[in-house]
Structure 1
Amino acid sequence: MAAKKRQGGLAVLFHGVGFLFAAMLVLHLLFLLTGFASDGPLAGSVAQAAEPLALFFPGLLSVDAPALQVLLDYGLAACFWVLVGGLLGRVFA
C-alpha cells in the first residue's frame, strides 16, 4: 500500500492562492451573469479585485453572445489560476 505524500506549507499556500484567485473570478462572473446589484459595495469590491486577475483573457476570444463572452473572459482566467496554483504547488511540494 502506497503512503500518501504530505505536502509542504509552500505547496499548500500556492494551491490556496490559486483557488482564491479563481473563486474571486467565478464570483465576479456570477455577479455579472445574474445582474447582482452591480452598484453595491460587495459587487464593486469583487469587480475591483477580479479585473486585474483576469489578465489578458478578456477579449482574447470574441463571440456574439454577451453571456458567453463573460463566461469565456472570466472562466478561462479562473481555469488559468487553478492550473498555475496547482503547478506551482507540485513544483514546491
Structure 2
Amino acid sequence: MAGMAVKKRRSGLGTLIHGVGFLLAVLLVMHIVFVVTGFPTENGLAQSVAQAAEPLALFFPGLVQTQSEILQVFVDYGLAAGFWVLLCAVLARVFG
C-alpha cells in the first residue's frame, strides 16, 4: 500500500538498550532528588544511588560552573542523564 507508513518493530536488543539508558537516567535523577531534598546520606539507598551516580556522571561534574550548589548538582547530573538517554537512543536505533 503506497503512502502508508509502516511501523518498524524494535528488536529485543533495541528495547534492551533503551531500557538501560532509561535506568541510568533514573539513577542520576534519583541522585539529584536526594541531594536537592536533603535526603539523609546515612540511608543505604541514598548511599547506593550516590555511589552509582558518581561514575555515571562521567566528565560532566564541573564542566559548567554555577554559583549555587543545588544548581550545580542539577547541571552536572542532569547533563549526564540527558547524555545517557541520547546515547542509548542512538545505539538502540543503530542496533535495534
TM-score above 0.5: yes
The reply to whether residue 74 of structure 1 matches residue 58 of structure 2 is: no
Q: Kindly tell me the number of residue pairs found equivalent between the two proteins.
A: 93
Percent of paired sites with the same residue: 61
Q: How much does 1:3 deviate?
A: 2.5
1:11-36 CA distance string (max 9 Å, x none): 11111111110000000010000001
Q: Which runs of 4+ in 1 moved over 3 A?
A: none
TM-score by length of 2: 0.93
TM-score by length of 1: 0.96
Distance, in Å, in 2 between the alignment partners of 1:39 and 1:64 is 27
Unaligned runs of 5+ in 2: none
Q: CA RMSD in A?
A: 0.7
Aligned to 1:35: 38
1:8-62 CA distance string (max 9 Å, x none): 1111111111111000000001000000111110100111111110000001111
Pick the aligned partner of 1:21 from 5, 8, 24: 24
